[in-house]
Chains A and B, each alone.
Chain A
């Protein structure tokens, strides 16, 4: 099945290629919930998700609410000898900038705030019009951008950073956790679920007719 003896024509059979090893093979006809692996290198070539587009949309909405809560409230408070210092996600960026390390400030801002927010907003921009059958301009560009952003949204790595910081300081001071910490912790599974319920193949197919 994986090897052809003569060159197939477009009209006869629908083909696809593996993005990791460039093997050409017939596009398997998948039922919902099935996935296709490359017969040569084992890469995940195609996956049909079992749920409708309502799922990622609902999950993205939840993520957006949690994201806002996580960013406007305090992550934690440190108390030492009557003095207390509170921390939000953006205050770390501010302090790094104030100390003259704008490079790390920009990096932390992009991967912990900007990229996750843009990712959630891109899901809205692409899925809302599909749900209500409206055509929005730049929907394809938005979905391309969503896929580019993927490796740069490091919400879960930041969460681990928060935990490490808490453990490091636990001996020296009292740490009070804030509501933003819980919102941030909840944001991670919701964002992951948005990604994993989103059927990119279906979305590209439905975006196709426009412009």
Chain B
């Protein structure tokens, strides 16, 4: 027979997510607070699934204009040349700048797509109470949480180029609406990952023991 692991929430303990103090829930107060740092204590993040779903779906919707609209326009001698994320990578490849093209492709296309897919997979697996490889899914969550920030490279490149290339009639660079949408995707997926509670992955394993 398998030993049942003891879970804090079931044993009347709450872990503070800010200062990592474990405290016993004594009172019946609806909003217990951490005795050390005064943060709100929850056994699981509030409305984790609903919030993560809402943010992930928003990010999917924003991802469409982020890729279709130009992220910046290079205006050379009066003629504007709008660049989307994909056409930016393509012109780097055509220009022979392979390492740079790979870097931008990874940061601006691979990372956001994989992040959205990983969040969707984690949400679905929790929703359907999957028992499959909880440890690996927790690791997937940790990777998802920390890799998203690197997608900001493209936004920073735009911020630097618009300030640097201001040569009047010769050449100027203007930001585009696609950059706003793309920045939105990055920020919203970061919030989505913060709202997901990896303990839900393990809760599905628990209910089976009953």
Q: Which residues of B contact A10 (CB under 8 A)?
A: 24
List residues of chain A with CB within 8 A of the CB of B20: 16, 19, 46, 200-201, 204
**Residue in contact with A92 in the complex, picked from B6, B24, B162, CB distance below 8 Å:** B162
**A165 near B7: Cβ-Cβ < 8 Å:** no
Residues of B within 8 A of A42 (CB): 135, 138-139
Interface check B8, CB cutoff 8 A? yes
State whether A15 touches B13 (Cβ < 8 A): yes
Say how far A204's CB is from chain B's closest CB, in angstroms: 4
Give the nearest-CB partner of A98 in chain B: B162
Which chain B positions have C-beta within 8 A of A101?
175, 179-180
Interface of B is mostly: helix
- A29 on the B face (CB < 8 A): no
Chain B residues closer than 8 Å to A80, beta-carbon distance: 167, 170-171
A172 to chain B, nearest CB (A): 8
The reply to whether A157 and B180 contact each other, CB–CB distance below 8 Å, is no
Contacts of B183 in A (CB 8 A): 103-104, 107
Query: Which 5 pairs show the lowest CB-CB distances between chains A and B?
Result: A161-B156, A92-B159, A17-B8, A165-B160, A21-B202
Can you list 21 contacts pairing A with B, beta carbon distance less than 8 Å? A21-B138, A23-B8, A24-B22, A41-B138, A83-B170, A85-B166, A95-B162, A99-B175, A107-B183, A108-B159, A151-B145, A151-B146, A160-B150, A161-B152, A161-B157, A164-B100, A167-B97, A168-B97, A171-B95, A204-B37, A207-B36
- Could you tell me the distance between the alpha carbons of A172 and B134 in the complex, rounded to whole angstroms? 51
State the CA gap A158–B199 with chains docked (Å).
33
Are A96 and B166 neighbours in the complex by a CB distance under 8 Å? Answer: no
- Taking a contact as CB atoms under 8 Å apart, the answer to whether B180 and A85 are in contact is no
User: What band does the interface of chain A fall in when counting residues whose beta carbon is under 8 Å from B?
Assistant: 35 or more
Q: Is there an interface contact between A3 and B174, defined as CB atoms closer than 8 Å?
A: no
Give a binary string over A158-186; 1 marks a CB under 8 Å from any B CB, 0 the rest: 10111011011101100000000000000
Are A167 and B175 interface neighbours, CB within 8 A?
Answer: no
Whether A87 and B163, one on each chain, are in contact in the complex, defined by CB atoms closer than 8 angstroms, is yes
Which listed residue (B175, B179, B199) contacts A21, Cβ 8 A? B199
Taking a contact as CB atoms closer than 8 A, the residue among B155, B166, B190 that contacts A108 in the complex is B155
Contacts of A3 in B (CB 8 A): 3-6
Q: Is B114 an interface residue (CB 8 A)?
A: no
With A and B bound together, what is the CA distance between A134 and B124 in angstroms? 50
Cα of A169 to Cα of B97 in the assembled complex, Å = 12
Q: Are B187 and A107 in contact (CB under 8 A)?
A: yes
Which of A15, A93, A162, A200 interacts with B22 by CB under 8 Å? A15
> How many Å lie between the Cα of A76 and that of B160 in the bound state?
10
Q: Is the CB of B198 within 8 A of A78?
A: no
Inter-chain contact A96/B159, CB cutoff 8 Å:
yes
Q: Are B11 and A24 in contact (CB under 8 A)?
A: yes
Residues of B within 8 A of A158 (CB): 152, 156
Q: Which chain B residues border A93 with CB–CB below 8 Å?
A: 159
A2: interface (CB < 8 Å)? yes
Q: Which residue from chain A places its CB closest to the CB of B137 in the assembled complex?
A: A41
With contacts A78-B165, A96-B162, A154-B149 taken as known, whether A43 is within 8 angstroms of B138 at the C-beta atoms is yes
Q: Are B104 and A208 in contact (CB under 8 A)?
A: no
Q: Judging by beta carbons under 8 Å apart, are A169 and B164 in contact?
A: yes
**Given contacts A95-B163, A105-B159, A160-B156, could you give 10 more A-B pairs where the C-beta distance is less than 8 Å?**
A17-B15, A22-B7, A22-B15, A24-B13, A41-B134, A78-B164, A94-B163, A157-B150, A168-B97, A169-B161
